[in-house]
């Protein structure tokens, strides 16, 4: 396990091809586009962390020894596709102008919030609630949990093509 214990200004790419990387400082990857490939994993020793974006197909656990981790992605305004599985009791926050596409099966115990850009669900996302604030929710996947589209948010089922976005709970 490699542990990143200091905040830094690195804005390049971080790739995890195997083994585990542990985030020990919430700003350790704040400007980096992070790719977690199959066979690799990302864990946290903090309760809140920020990264430029997230891609790949490896595992990401939003769990810090039983405590939820709030993960903020998209701060570098780039677009990324994550095909892995987000899991654990934590929260997902999407910021930045880019798009973040989930194609895997993610189950998080906390909330998902889209506060800028676009979240596309082409896999499945289960959360206690999903809030769309000043942003776009799109996709052809399944959302298990209540969805709230605020007055400045947009629901775009199917995204750029024909398709159906399934919401297995309330839509407000």
Alpha-carbon torsion, ordered 58, 20, 35, 74, to 10 deg:
100
**Chain-centroid distance, C-alpha 65:** 20
Q: How many CB atoms lie within 10 A of CB 23?
A: 24
The C-alpha atoms of residue 138 and residue 158 are separated, in whole angstroms, by 6
pTM for this structure? 0.94
Which tens digit of pLDDT belongs to each residue from 61-119? 999 999 999 999 999 999 999 999 999 999 999 999 999 999 999 999 999 999 999 99
Beta bridge partners of 120: 101, 138
């Amino acid at each position: 396990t490699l542990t990143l214990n200091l905040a830094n200004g690195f804005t390049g790419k971080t790739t995890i091809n195997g083994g585990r990387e542990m985030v020990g400082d919430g700003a350790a990857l704040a400007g980096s586009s992070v790719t977690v490939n199959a066979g690799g994993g990302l864990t946290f020793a903090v309760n809140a962390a920020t990264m430029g974006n997230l891609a790949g197909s490896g595992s990401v656990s939003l769990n810090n020894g039983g405590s939820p981790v709030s993960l903020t992605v998209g701060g570098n305004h780039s677009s990324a596709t994550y095909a892995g599985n987000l899991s654990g009791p934590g929260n997902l926050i999407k910021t930045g102008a880019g798009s973040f596409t989930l194609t895997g099966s993610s189950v998080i115990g906390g909330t998902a919030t889209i506060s800028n850009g676009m979240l596309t669900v082409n896999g499945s996302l289960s959360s206690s609630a999903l809030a769309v604030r000043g942003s776009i929710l799109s996709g052809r996947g399944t959302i298990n949990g209540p969805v709230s589209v605020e007055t400045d948010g947009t629901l775009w089922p199917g995204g750029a093509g024909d398709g159906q976005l399934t919401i297995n709970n309330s839509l407000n």
